[in-house]
Amino acid sequence: MNAAVYEKLLARLKRIQVLATVSGHLGWDEQVYLPPGSAPLRGQQSALMAELVHREASHPEIGEMLSAVEATPAELTADQLAVVRQARRDYDQATKLPADFVREKAEHTSRGYHAWVSARSRSDFGSFAPFLVKHLELARREAGYMGCGARPYDYWIDQHDPGVDSQNIAQLFAGLKEGLVPLVRQIAASGVRSRREALCRCPVYDQRELLYELIERLGFDFQRGRLDVSLHPFCSGSGMDTRMTTRFNADAPLDSLFGAIHETGHGMYEQGLVVDYHGTALGMNAGMAWHESQSRLWENQVARSRAFWQYFEPRFRSRFTEQASVLDSDELYLAVNTVRPGCIRVEADEVTYNLHIILRFEMERRMFAGDLAVDDLPQAWNDGMQELLGLRPPDDRRGVLQDIHWSGGSFGYFPSYCLGNMIAAQLWDTVRRSEAGLEDDFSRGDFSRLLRWLRANVHHRGRRMGTLEMVKAVTDQELSPRPLLDYLRERYGSLYLQ
């Protein structure tokens, strides 16, 4: 290998990443600031940027450089091998799909989205079904182009979480389901009821002030990032310029609070990636499940803990003296940790949430395996909800049509949410054992030790290894549902099952 070739490859990868951040900021602006009449121009700008990013990412020189360095692997360090492996993966992704196929998929994605919006508003699954059939066909074809035609669903899972397959997930989810279903039933039958809704009329201005103060204290760097408002909260940008969004509701201040802490976890992960390595596997997030583990850890393990509320409750009450007076301290803590089985995934609490994901994984797996026809999906969905959560959706709008993912042909994404919860719990277990007194820090409003630990053990690793391999490296254990089940039983058992 010629060291100069490797350096040139790095420079190419850097160009792609910089270009992609421009594209990302256009998307952020579209959801935060864009005047409605400017949408057509933004559509043109985004399409052109996507074309330029693709042109850069599929440049033949990259293929030549990759072939050159791959020819002498013994000359590469472990880090360089990781960089080359990821670059090959991305290059193949950019070049192996025929242009006709890419166009066909883009057109169908747009049509599928509009069909889903309309079908959902009318709760009419039948009108969306043909679009889903076509999406499944496109997904299988894409896996075929990428050399994974025999295991298309595994291809899609691997796209989100490198190295994970449906067999891994099926095993992990089976263990989780076995512990969770009875726990949810016990909580529902406990008779303990949260009075979360009593907390209302909290002015948005005060929510915003309190939130900014908190997020900065958690460790988000506002010199390299922003928090704005959008209809659907998200986190975009890079660690050099992280753009998070949230939304406020005067009558649901806890939703706004936890939504924003969730995005902050994502944002701090991006800010923790090593800047000099941006654009390569060494400075890249480790996949969707790992990303989600960072948001969930801050949102749940940290911000729903008693220690956190020892610090935060006085601040919350001083902002919302009158509004919060309707709940005493225990009631406020129960409001923060409300568990209520429901049909809607995005409204689910951290206990029932995982069952929503298990249902979607089972549906996807069966559809790809040919065991479940799209026409039979609503029935299978409702039966699954009944089995897992003891509920039957009143209609498809609140059932099989509720999520956007399938409308855009996004498969294999849902499992990442639940894998992320499992990883978060396993990290929490690990860090608590290695850092004594961590929760005492939280009760004093000091989160720096946890963030430092995550920086050193998670963020700085980048994407040097696959999802499950990294779990083993960081926690010294294989990924297991047990830490998540133990954590949920401990926290929610003490609130609901005493």
User: Looking at the annotation, which residues are catalytic?
Assistant: 263
Our measurement of the distance from residue 97's CA atom to the centroid of its chain's CA atoms, rounded to an integer in Å, reads 26
The C-alpha atoms of residue 433 and residue 447 are separated, in whole angstroms, by 16
Rounded to the nearest whole angstrom, what is the least distance from the CB of residue 74 to Zn ion in the complex? 40
- Residues 115, 407, 107, CA angle at the centre, nearest 5°? 75
Rounded to the nearest whole angstrom, what is the least distance from the CB of residue 295 to Zn ion in the complex? 4
Rounded to the nearest whole angstrom, what is the least distance from the CB of residue 292 to Zn ion in the complex? 5
The C-alpha atoms of residue 133 and residue 4 are separated, in whole angstroms, by 48
User: Taking Cα atoms as reference points, which of 292, 393, 288, 298 lies closest to residue 345?
Assistant: 393
The C-alpha atoms of residue 171 and residue 95 are separated, in whole angstroms, by 34
Which of residues 295 and 300 has its CB atom nearest to Zn ion in the complex?
A: 295
User: For residue 191, what are its two tokens?
Assistant: 């008779």
Dihedral angle over CA of 7, 10, 15, 18, nearest 10: -130
User: For residue 243, what are its two tokens?
Assistant: 């753009």
Rounded to the nearest whole angstrom, what is the least distance from the CB of residue 290 to Zn ion in the complex? 11
Which of residues 19 and 451 has its CB atom nearest to Zn ion in the complex?
A: 451
Rounded to the nearest whole angstrom, what is the least distance from the CB of residue 258 to Zn ion in the complex? 11
| Stretch binding Zn ion (CB under 5 A), from 187-195, 291-299, 328-336, 460-468 | 291-299
Q: Is 295 in the site for Zn ion (CB under 5 A)?
A: yes
Rounded to the nearest whole angstrom, what is the least distance from the CB of residue 484 to Zn ion in the complex? 16
Binding flags for Zn ion, 358-377, as an x/- string (CB under 5 A)? --------------------
Rounded to the nearest whole angstrom, what is the least distance from the CB of residue 259 to Zn ion in the complex? 10
274 near 282, Cβ under 8 Å? yes
User: For residue 403, what are its two tokens?
Assistant: 């999520």
In the region spanning residues 55 to 114, those forming contacts with Zn ion, defined by CB under 5 A, are: none
Which of residues 246 and 295 has its CB atom nearest to Zn ion in the complex?
A: 295
Residue nearest to Zn ion (CB): 295
Q: Is 300 in the site for Zn ion (CB under 5 A)?
A: no
Which of residues 158 and 299 has its CB atom nearest to Zn ion in the complex?
A: 299
Which of residues 102 and 344 has its CB atom nearest to Zn ion in the complex?
A: 344
Rounded to the nearest whole angstrom, what is the least distance from the CB of residue 239 to Zn ion in the complex? 16
Rounded to the nearest whole angstrom, what is the least distance from the CB of residue 353 to Zn ion in the complex? 11
Cβ contacts of 74 within 8 Å, gap of 6 or more: none
| Stretch binding Zn ion (CB under 5 A), from 155-163, 290-298, 334-342, 468-476 | 290-298
How many chain residues are in contact with Zn ion, going by CB under 5 A? Answer: 1
388 near 260, Cβ under 8 Å? no
The C-alpha atoms of residue 261 and residue 218 are separated, in whole angstroms, by 9
The C-alpha atoms of residue 393 and residue 382 are separated, in whole angstroms, by 6
Q: Is 421 in the site for Zn ion (CB under 5 A)?
A: no
Rounded to the nearest whole angstrom, what is the least distance from the CB of residue 417 to Zn ion in the complex? 7
| Stretch binding Zn ion (CB under 5 A), from 76-84, 293-301, 445-453, 462-470 | 293-301
Which of residues 219 and 384 has its CB atom nearest to Zn ion in the complex?
A: 219
Which of residues 245 and 295 has its CB atom nearest to Zn ion in the complex?
A: 295
Which of residues 270 and 396 has its CB atom nearest to Zn ion in the complex?
A: 270
| Stretch binding Zn ion (CB under 5 A), from 158-166, 167-175, 294-302, 462-470 | 294-302
| Stretch binding Zn ion (CB under 5 A), from 76-84, 158-166, 289-297, 346-354 | 289-297
The C-alpha atoms of residue 409 and residue 133 are separated, in whole angstroms, by 10
| Stretch binding Zn ion (CB under 5 A), from 102-110, 198-206, 288-296, 298-306 | 288-296
Distance in angstroms between the alpha carbons of the first and the last residue of the chain: 65
Which of residues 262 and 365 has its CB atom nearest to Zn ion in the complex?
A: 262
In what side-by-side order are the strands of the sheet with 235-238? 225-229, 241-246, 235-238
Which of residues 247 and 306 has its CB atom nearest to Zn ion in the complex?
A: 247
334 near 492, Cβ under 8 Å? no
| Stretch binding Zn ion (CB under 5 A), from 24-32, 114-122, 287-295, 339-347 | 287-295
In the complex, which residues of this chain contact Zn ion (CB under 5 A)? 295
